Amino acid sequence: MLAARSIYDEDHESLRGSLRRFIAEEIAPDFPRWEEAGIVDRSLWDRLGASGFLCPTVPEEFGGLGADFRMHTVVAEELAYSGFMGPAADVSVHSDVCLGYLLHQANDEQKARWLPGMVDGSLVCAIAMTEPGTGSDLQGVRTRAVRDGDDWVISGAKTFISNGQHADIVIVVTRTGEGRGSGNMTLIVVEAAREGFRRGRNLDKLGQISADTSELFFDSVRVPVANTLGGEGRAMGMLMSELPQERLIIAVTSIAAAQKAFDITRDYVRERKAFGQSVADFQNTRYRLAELKTELSVGWAFVDQCIAKHLKSELSTYEASMAKLWCSEMQGRVVDAGVQMHGGYGFMREYEICRLYADARVQRIYGGTSEIMKELISRNL
């Protein structure tokens, strides 16, 4: 179980307790079915919204709690620590990633249109950056938006889009000018009900199987210019301003999931017997657990430092990149050690450590690969 930390107060811990009960009652019983289906039920969003777990930083005037960002990190930690990474990923993209663009870049009319639904779960949000063949190269985006009077006409394709199957609104990274220049890119919100918008297949993944991850297609989708976020040609600047929060939340989910892997492995080796003693009694096991415990403790300290800085709007791109790099790579080491200490049982999907191992792999890829994080960090040496 996640330990109480000084960065949180009673309100945050109260939310944590409520969410733990929600997870036990509303997620755990259905999770095996969602994993088999490859997607969570749409009704989960309504239940999350009704319980106050979506987008808690939205101001009260738009239906939210007006809370600080620590409410987001509590939700991210608990969902990740539960081991149910499919729902955790879906909620995080909606609340921790997409919401930032609407809170900080949308005008009041746009906020009134979209934020209340994001809070109550009636609107699921996705952000469509990645395209087939572009990966982390955002300036290579080929999805085009062409101005036609008071509308944009959008054509292109996106892939690996979290919440793509359930999304009601999609923040789309488009190219609105010629060439690769960042001034030629614009963020446009597309409602899924618009003619020409198509959902492709729900993608089959190694891990986080119940996470909603899709292909999206835009076949001359006509969208009002009023759906533009922050103005034409400003997409790259907005992406760069919001990516630190995305990377911080990936760090939070990575370390919480790593903590879960450590905890269940520690408990397992204490019970498991080999050569007449528990596996935990072997020096190699004790020393390896000691190393992992130390890595987790260092990671939590840095994550809390980054959260504190983010609350004051002082978190830099480099610090967020370091948090994402360290925590996601450390998660990989922890789950790998966990599988090894479980022996043959660690390779069986019926054991939780096996699922945690598979779920962890993408953490080093999305939100910017580890290699991209190193490149960003190296620029500030």
Specify the CATH number for the domain of residue 170: 2.40.110.10
Give the residues across from 189 on adjacent strands. Answer: 171
Per-residue pLDDT, 181: 67
Q: How far apart are CA 192 and CA 165, in angstroms?
A: 10
What is the Cβ-side half-sphere exposure of residue 289, based on CA atoms within 13 angstroms? 20
Residues 249 and 188 in one domain: no
- Of 88, 123, 158, which residue constitutes the final position of a domain? 123
Task: Read off the pLDDT band of 328 (50, 70, 90).
Answer: very high
Residues 267 and 373 in one domain: yes
Residues 241 and 314 in one domain: yes
Per-residue pLDDT, 30: 98
Task: Read off the pLDDT band of 1 (50, 70, 90).
Answer: low
Residue-wise pLDDT for 186-245, tens only, equals 999 999 999 999 999 999 999 999 999 999 999 999 999 999 999 999 999 999 999 999
* Alpha helix segments (H runs only) across the chain: 10-22, 31-37, 43-50, 70-81, 85-92, 99-105, 108-120, 235-271, 283-311, 317-342, 352-360, 370-378
- Of 102, 123, 144, which residue constitutes the final position of a domain? 123
Average pLDDT over residues 49-73: 97
Residue-wise pLDDT for 116-164, tens only, equals 999 999 999 999 999 997 766 777 799 999 999 999 999 999 999 999 9
Q: Catalytic amino acids?
A: 246
In a domain, residue 5? The reply is no
Per-residue pLDDT, 134: 75
Average pLDDT over residues 317-325: 98
CATH assignment of the domain containing 35: 1.10.540.10
- Of 231, 262, 278, which residue constitutes the final position of a domain? 231
Task: Read off the pLDDT band of 109 (50, 70, 90).
Answer: very high
In a domain, residue 4? The reply is no
Per the structure, how many domains does the chain have? 3
Average pLDDT over residues 89-101: 98
Q: Specify the 3-state DSSP secondary structure of 264.
A: helix
Count of other CB atoms within 10 angstroms of residue 191: 17
- Structural domain boundaries enclosing 90: 10-123
Report whether pLDDT(337) > 70. yes
CA angle, corner 360, sides to 355 and 366, nearest 5? Answer: 135
Residues 33 and 115 in one domain: yes
Residues 291 and 250 in one domain: yes
With tokens 């609104």, the residue in question is: 169
Q: How far apart are CA 319 and CA 340, in angstroms?
A: 32
Residues 97 and 134 in one domain: no
Residues 81 and 162 in one domain: no
Beta strands of 87-210 (E only): which ranges? 125-128, 144-148, 151-162, 169-175, 185-191, 197-202
In a domain, residue 115? The reply is yes
